Amino acid sequence: MPTEELTKNNKKQKAKIETYKIAEDLKDVKRPEDPKRVQHFFTSVAKKYDLANTVMSFGRHYSWKRFTTKVVEPKEGQTGIDVCAGTNDIAILLARIVGPSGKVISLDFNEAMQEVGKFKAKKHGLDNIEHVLADAEALPFEDKTFDFLTIGTAARHLRAPNALAEWYRVLKPGAKMACLEFYSPHNRIWRAMYNWYSYNIMPKVGALVARDKSGVYNYLPDSIRVWYTEERYQELMQEAGFVDVQFRRFSGGIACVHWGSKP
């Protein structure tokens, strides 16, 4: 899509986000979080997001992201999209694989996060990442545009059926999508330890690293607890039309990657 058209679409998307309406056929599905609260959170943590993420996940998020990239099987010259791309960790991995003859769209609705992402792409000398400010549930792209789609630790901010339907729409037949997300561990003892860590330590570390005094980091554990089980998210992907849907848990189940193909 030409850049001018994308900019025009961005403006439309911005207006859409401000006056968000639930799709007619999915009235019963609420946003898990108020998008304004999500925006506030990411604007306030953007500059320190990477550091806070690394400290809070003990650096594990990099290997989860590498796996997410690998399962969509990107190839040189292809065009893909990373939605809710934030500071571009996944987009950068993908951009290196598709190379200068390919392209990665880095899409996010938060300008502060995207600015950090733009800075990182430049620092890595990658000019095949195109940044789009838009809502991940209403993508400003034609049907069957992309060879692959990824999303990292952000699906729980979205209404899963709407988002999955939209991602399915923009993928080409045969294309793969992968979703990395946080989950609650299954093992009772590990879950109790993880819950204690996420409510007592994580917000404090987050606040300290990101120098935040407003308590926004309490939002993280809350949003993880109200999310689906891995099995239910697999079903939702199948209900959206994806086939060969698989998932793999990481770090005792605190993270999981789902992936599947559009037939």
Does 157 bind ligand SAM (CB under 6 A)? Our answer is: yes
Sequence-separated (6 or more) residues with CB below 8 Å from residue 191: 184, 185
Does 129 bind ligand SAM (CB under 6 A)? Our answer is: no
Pick the stretch among 129-137, 171-179, 208-216, 232-240 that binds ligand SAM (CB under 6 A). Answer: 129-137
Cα 243 to Cα 41, 91, 105, 256, 263: the distances in Å are 34, 24, 24, 18, 6
Least CB distance from residue 189 to ligand SAM, whole Å?
27
Pick the stretch among 108-116, 188-196, 199-207, 246-254 that binds ligand SAM (CB under 6 A). Answer: 108-116
Q: What does DSSP assign to residue 199? A: I
Q: In this chain, which of 6, 52, 72, 85 binds ligand SAM, going by CB under 6 A?
A: 85
Pick the stretch among 122-130, 148-156, 191-199, 245-253 that binds ligand SAM (CB under 6 A). Answer: 148-156
Does 110 bind ligand SAM (CB under 6 A)? Our answer is: yes
Q: In this chain, which of 6, 38, 132, 207 binds ligand SAM, going by CB under 6 A?
A: 38
Q: What does DSSP assign to residue 229? A: P
Could you give the angle at the alpha carbon of 111 between the alpha carbons of 109 and 116, nearest 5°?
A: 120
Pick the stretch among 7-15, 78-86, 211-219, 232-240 that binds ligand SAM (CB under 6 A). Answer: 78-86
CA distance 23 to 42: 25
- Other Cβ atoms within 10 Å of 169 Cβ, number: 16
Nearer to ligand SAM, 79 or 153 (CB): 153
Report residue 184 CA to chain centroid gap: 18
CA distance 81 to 98: 11
Could you give the angle at the alpha carbon of 85 between the alpha carbons of 79 and 89, nearest 5°?
A: 90
Does 84 bind ligand SAM (CB under 6 A)? Our answer is: yes
Nearer to ligand SAM, 130 or 137 (CB): 137
Does 113 bind ligand SAM (CB under 6 A)? Our answer is: yes
Number of residues that bind ligand SAM (CB under 6 A): 21
Tokens of 216: 């926004």
Q: Are 38 and 157 in contact (CB under 8 A)?
A: yes
Report the interface residues with ligand SAM, using CB under 6 A.
35, 38, 42, 84-87, 89-90, 108-110, 113, 135-137, 152-154, 157-158
